[in-house]
Chain A
């Protein structure tokens, strides 16, 4: 079983602070995705990274794929209450679309 461990599990911060969420595995993935899920909703795709070392920015969110494609990070600058939610990373194996492996999840709360 390929495991994707996320850290931290829970994070409660004040509005305006910065934070980083990590997603680590011993397995290599062909691509890695980040999702955000709000209560009562399904996860929503934020970004897909496919190249080792790749960095993608989405407004205040910066995503990085590790050089060896085994890990990833999500950095949020100046967090807003609207960033509150469950963040999930998900890794896909090579050879066309395969069932993704979801990470353990990071629950973020941004306090106004």
Chain B
């Protein structure tokens, strides 16, 4: 299993500013992901955080807006840049443990972001 912590748990920010969210895992993991979720709705994958190389972004998400760092196998950050109210959401860090079809995906508690 994996225990994931995120900081901050929530924040209220002014438009035009940036916020960096930290994700810490209690074990070394290869695959780490960042998701966005509107309360009560499904998850949208932002990017895969790769250790030692640039993150792989999904359609609709770009590095300039959501720069990601992955300095080692237990830590990653996601920055939400030049924020607007549309960026208000819950941001979740996730890791995959195991291999094959029985791998398990674990999630952090999320960071609830409100942009005014």
- Chain A residues engaging chain B, CB cutoff 8 angstroms: 30-31, 33, 39-45, 48, 50, 86, 88, 90, 92, 96-97, 99-100, 102-105, 107
Contacts and interface: CB of A to CB of B under 8 A. Distances in A.
A42 B99 contact: no
Given A33-B105, A96-B100, A99-B48, A42 B41 contact: no
Given A102-B42, A102-B43, A45 B101 contact: no
Nearest to A39: B39
Nearest to A43: B107
Contacts, number: 55
Nearest to B39: A39
A96 B99 contact: yes
Interface residues on B, range: 20 to 34
B108 A86 contact: no
B43 A43 contact: yes
A34 B48 CA distance: 21
B99 A40 contact: no
A100 B106 CA distance: 12
Interface string B81-96: 0000000000010101
A108 to B, nearest CB: 11
